[in-house]
Amino acid sequence: GAVVSQHPSRVICKSGTSVKIECRSLDFQATTMFWYRQFPKQSLMLMATSNEGSKATYEQGVEKDKFLINHASLTLSTLTVTSAHPEDSSFYICSAVLDGQGGYEQYFGPGTRLTVT
């Protein structure tokens, strides 16, 4: 099946620094990717929709200047958490939609655990 990778798998950073998380579709092209965050014992919360070659669409309540998304190619989307604070500590998950299948095939990455100290 289609594989989506995320890098890094976990990261610890100090408050005030920025962290970049990469999401790659390894064996397929994905015009559309999604970014989610998940707190312990909770469901995934959609943060934004990332479309290759255009600006990301953010969900209500998600600060676009804080969570910068770049989808520069059909296989790579990045999420940069700028000026991270402890409340940004969470599990970040991306997903990629397989092109050419009507949008019905979506594959998830393994997630990135961010801890801000």
Contact 80, 97 (CB under 8 A): no
Q: How far is the CB of 45 from other proteins (least distance, A)?
A: 7
Nearer to other proteins, 49 or 82 (CB): 49
Binding positions for other proteins, rule: CB under 8 A? 1, 4, 6, 32, 34, 36, 43-46, 49, 51, 57, 91, 93, 95, 102-104, 106-111, 113
Longest dimension (CA), the chain: 42
- Helix (H) or strand (E) holding 54, with range, is none
- CB 93, min distance to other proteins, A: 5
CA gap 43, 17 in Å, rounded? 27
| Shortest Å, Cβ 16 to other proteins | 26
**Separation of alpha carbons 87 and 17, rounded Å:** 13
Q: Which is nearer to other proteins, 84 or 94 (CB)?
A: 94
Give 61 or 104: the residue with its C-beta nearer to other proteins. Answer: 104
- Minimum distance from CB of 37 to other proteins (Å)? 11
Q: How far is Cα 25 from Cα 74, in angstroms, rounded to an integer?
A: 8
